[in-house]
């Protein structure tokens, strides 16, 4: 590979859905990241057999789906909204209640990020749960990548940044084709400091403190566990579905 | 000091003027950061005797001032705009052309950040040039601090993040009164990795590459030099002036 072919594909990170308009382009694959807990929960639902996950931005939209008979998850400020079937704990998205089901979900941050990026070339869901499958696919696609961190109410958060750093490290270690934007350069360093013990690294973070109050230590540990799934959820016509295995294998070959 | 008094003052960082509305409050001192090169140039102007610096957001406003006879700096995309007195190289803001003068300045990023935050409780200018004076004053003020990185065209950049990390480290090392938001936690780690050799650390950053093309290595080295000045520029009635020494000494005592 010539030098001008190497380092030719951009990977960058955006720390808030509110900043997405500044970063958006027509070319990039956008990876939605909401580690605690929406994107971890969505990946879990697919691993446990969910047919489709419809992300919606508002509780009102979620309620409309609930009235139509759908299974609906709704979370605000870390807590399940009354009258719905799930919050956003990944442990809710397991077993018979998700298997072969179409599930609707709205969360404080993650589904807002999906909404912001819905017009992108391609929108996929990332979490530690599916990180290796996601990274292998991103490398095979040979497209610019934008890691869109959901954050907390449009502010930067540490756990989404950590995951974006992990993806950046994986992509730049496995191939020389990616050129990091400044945010990814910073995140790669951050991940290198954190990777020996991510749970400890996050112990001072705002969101972990928030979740600890809600007694969700088990969720946090689960959400930081890599490679429980090899499914990549992708947005198609407003709903998340599994990225077809055929397309994945073809592009990886 | 009791534990609930310790860690009671928030320090956070915002990576883009576009995100400022998400972070703003009525209480925080906002530190404007544009290391390469606007805030470094402004601190340099005051150290070299400038009387006042009027930041304006647009080239049109800058031109109005020029027509009224002011000395005016105007930079876009790293280059001095034709017809003005300065670009944003700190080396332009030295000597007789700044001494005792009122200077008007507009830049791609830094003066946009001042414009975004102009209604804040207090707006001050930060750079490595005045870092220790700034940090000592922030500690004495006992107020929440928001480090507003100008970035590059509203995107995250590495050198502003590095400086915000340096301020966070200084503030949290010298006193236990500050509690870091997630962005400052991340930046503190970043700075700890970079501080042995910040010039080397920045060598892959987007903006450094951009400036290297413009043959500005001397500017970069200068802008990363700490404590060339102990003056803190503060925004008052739309213009930057020196923070009065009396007020500074009183609050520090």
Closest residue in chain B to residue A161, using alpha carbons only: B186
B174-195 residue pLDDT tens: 999 999 999 999 999 999 989 9
Chain A positions touching B146 (Cβ under 8 A) are: none
CA–CA min distance B248, chain A (Å): 32
Q: Which two tokens stand for residue B16?
A: 């883009």
Q: Write out the DSSP string of A215-239.
A: T-HHHHHHHT---S----EEEETTE
Whether A251 shows a pLDDT value over 80: the answer reads no
Residue B37 φ then ψ, to 5°: -145, 0
Distance, in Å, from the CA atom of B100 to the CA atom of B130, rounded to the nearest integer, reads 20
In 3D space, the residue among A114, A102, A111 whose CA is nearest the CA of residue A71 turns out to be: A102
CA–CA min distance A178, chain B (Å): 13
Encode chain B (253 residues) as per-residue pLDDT tens digits: 444 445 589 999 999 999 999 999 999 999 999 999 999 999 999 999 999 999 999 999 999 999 999 999 999 988 999 999 999 899 999 999 899 999 999 999 999 999 999 999 999 999 999 999 999 999 999 999 999 999 999 999 999 999 999 999 999 999 999 999 999 999 999 999 899 988 888 887 766 666 666 668 889 899 999 999 999 999 999 999 999 865 555 555 4
> How many residues belong to chain B?
253
CA–CA min distance B151, chain A (Å): 10
Q: Which fold would CATH assign to domain B9-252? A: putative 2-phosphosulfolactate phosphatase (3.90.1560)
pLDDT of residue B204: 74
Whole-prediction pTM: 0.93
Element (H, E) at A163: helix A158-174
Considering only CB atoms, which residues of chain B are within 8 Å of chain A?
12-13, 15-16, 18-19, 22-23, 152-158, 161, 180-183, 185-186, 189-190, 193-194, 204-207
pLDDT of residue A204: 74
Question: Quick check: bond before A37 cis, omega within 30?
Answer: yes
Name, in order, each residue with C-beta under 8 angstroms of A253's C-beta and a sequence gap of 6 or more: A140
pLDDT of residue B4: 46
CB contact under 8 A, B156 and A186: yes
| pLDDT band, very low/low/confident/very high, at A216 (cuts 50, 70, 90) | confident
CB A30 within 8 A of CB A148: yes
CB B32 within 8 A of CB B124: yes
Distance, in Å, from the CA atom of A1 to the CA atom of B192, rounded to the nearest integer, reads 35
Distance, in Å, from the CA atom of A52 to the CA atom of A237, rounded to the nearest integer, reads 11
Number of A/B CB contacts below 8 angstroms equals 87
CB contact under 8 A, B156 and A205: no
Whether A70 shows a pLDDT value over 90: the answer reads yes
Distance, in Å, from the CA atom of A74 to the CA atom of A188, rounded to the nearest integer, reads 33
CB contact under 8 A, A155 and B182: yes
pLDDT of residue A7: 57
CB contact under 8 A, A190 and B185: no
Distance, in Å, from the CA atom of B213 to the CA atom of B217, rounded to the nearest integer, reads 9
pLDDT of residue B1: 43
CB contact under 8 A, B204 and A15: no
Name, in order, each residue with C-beta under 8 angstroms of B168's C-beta and a sequence gap of 6 or more: B11, B13, B147, B178, B180, B184, B187, B188, B191
CB A239 within 8 A of CB A51: no
CB contact under 8 A, A22 and B155: yes
More confident residue, A213 or A94: A94
Mean pLDDT of chain A: 91
CB A231 within 8 A of CB A243: yes
pLDDT of residue A4: 46
Chain B positions touching A180 (Cβ under 8 A) are: 204
| pLDDT band, very low/low/confident/very high, at A150 (cuts 50, 70, 90) | very high
Distance, in Å, from the CA atom of A97 to the CA atom of A202, rounded to the nearest integer, reads 31
3-state secondary structure chain B: CCCCCCCCEEEEEECCHHHHHHHCCCCCEEEEECCCCHHHHHHHHHHCCCCEEEECCCHHHHHHHHHCCCEEEEEECCEECCCCCECCCHHHCCHHHCCCCEEEEECCCHHHHHHHHCCCCEEEEECHHHHHHHHHHHHHHCCCEEEEECCECCECCHHHHHHHHHHHHHHHHHCCCEEECHHHHHHHHHHHHHCCCHHHHHHHCHHHHHHHHCCCHHHHHHHCCCCCCCCCEEEECCEEEECCHHHHHHHHC
3-state secondary structure A42-59: HHHHHHCCCCEEEECCCH
CB contact under 8 A, B182 and A153: no
Instruction: Give percent of chain A above pLDDT 90.
Output: 81
ipTM value, please give it: 0.91
A93-104 residue pLDDT tens: 999 989 999 999
pLDDT of residue A244: 86
CA–CA min distance B53, chain A (Å): 29
| pLDDT band, very low/low/confident/very high, at A131 (cuts 50, 70, 90) | very high
Among the partner-chain residues B22, B189, B205, the one whose CB lies closest to the CB of A182 is B205
Average pLDDT of span A165-176: 96
B142-178 residue pLDDT tens: 999 999 999 999 999 999 999 999 999 999 999 999 9
């Amino acid at each position: 590979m010539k030098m001008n072919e190497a380092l030719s594909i951009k990977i960058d990170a955006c720390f808030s859905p509110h900043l997405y308009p500044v970063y958006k382009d027509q070319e990039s694959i956008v990876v939605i990241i909401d580690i605690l807990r929406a994107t971890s929960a969505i990946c879990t639902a697919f691993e446990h057999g969910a047919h489709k996950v419809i992300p919606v931005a508002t509780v009102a939209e979620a309620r409309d789906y609930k009235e139509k008979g759908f299974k609906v998850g709704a979370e605000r400020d870390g807590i399940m909204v009354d009258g719905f079937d799930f919050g956003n704990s990944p442990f809710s998205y397991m077993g018979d209640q998700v298997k072969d089901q179409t599930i609707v979900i709205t969360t404080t941050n993650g589904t807002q990020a999906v909404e912001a990026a819905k017009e992108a070339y391609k929108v996929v869901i990332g979490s530690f749960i599916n990180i290796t499958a996601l990274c292998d696919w991103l490398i095979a696609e040979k497209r610019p990548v934008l890691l869109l961190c959901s954050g907390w109410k449009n502010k930067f958060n540490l756990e989404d940044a950590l995951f974006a750093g992990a993806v950046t490290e994986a992509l730049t270690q496995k191939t020389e084709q990616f050129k990091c934007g400044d945010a990814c350069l910073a995140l790669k360093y951050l991940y290198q400091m954190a990777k020996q013990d991510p749970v400890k690294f996050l112990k001072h973070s705002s969101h972990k403190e928030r979740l600890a109050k809600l007694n969700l230590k088990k969720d946090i540990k689960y959400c930081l566990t890599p490679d429980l799934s090899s499914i990549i959820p992708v947005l198609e016509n407003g709903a998340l579905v599994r990225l077809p295995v055929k397309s994945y294998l073809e592009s990886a070959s």
